[in-house]
Amino acid sequence: MSQRSPHLGFGLLVAAVAFILDQLAKWVVTVPLSLETQPGRSIEFTSFFNLTWAQNYGISLSMFSDQSPTTRWILVAVTAAVALGVAFWMTREKAKGDVIALALILGGALGNIVDRVRLGYVVDYADLHIGDFRPFMIFNVADACITIGVVLLVARALLLGEKAPAAGATPSAE
């Protein structure tokens, strides 16, 4: 039986911070800045970053975008199932780097689930661009956390490869 991750507490803290930062940023764009009440309004921060209101009824890249209640709850259920899977994986993961990556994914998923349950859509607002070229769709802190977490997992898997057997261990014959 595998033991609980020694980094689980830290991972849960990282997930909580990601979730809180996401919800705080969404509150700032909806309440003090009131972007949702002014569709099409954009606040320019730099020559390459604006705050622009967007309601995402789909998932990544607005795929499966549909404003029906059925699709909304299917997306909530699927995202919740993924979040539960990530949380379970995090409880078993021994590598601190992987726990951090999983925590970012979990915190981001929870942030977007809360939006979808509460509002029926995910609040997006971060608009990175180079002139008129937009390499990304408008996104939020949760999306950034999920993306960074996935990139970290993939990079660690590719760069670290399989872990070497412990000293004195004999490789199993397959």
Could you tell me if residue 6 is inside a domain? no
Predicted confidence band at 23 (pLDDT cuts at 50, 70, 90)?
A: very high
Q: Is residue 165 part of a domain?
A: no
Domain membership flag for residue 119: yes
Q: Is the Cβ–Cβ distance between 124 and 141 less than 8 Å?
A: no
- Asked about 143 being catalytic, the answer comes back as yes
Q: Which residue among the candidates 98, 115, 127, 143 is catalytic per the annotation?
A: 143
Q: Residue 74: inside a domain, yes or no?
A: yes
pLDDT at 167 exceeding the cut of 70? no
- 42-51, 73-82, 144-153, 164-173: which range is least confident on average? 164-173
| % of the chain beyond a pLDDT of 70 | 87
What pLDDT sits at residue 66?
66
Q: How many domains does the chain have?
A: 1
Catalytic residue among 22, 98, 115, 124, which?
124
Domain that holds residue 104: 11-29+42-160
In a domain, 107, yes or no: yes
Establish if 133 belongs to a structural domain. yes
pTM, rounded to two decimals: 0.86
d(Cα 22, Cα 170) in Å, to the nearest integer?
A: 46
Q: Which two tokens stand for residue 124?
A: 């997006």
Within-domain flag for 171: no
| 173 part of a folded domain | no
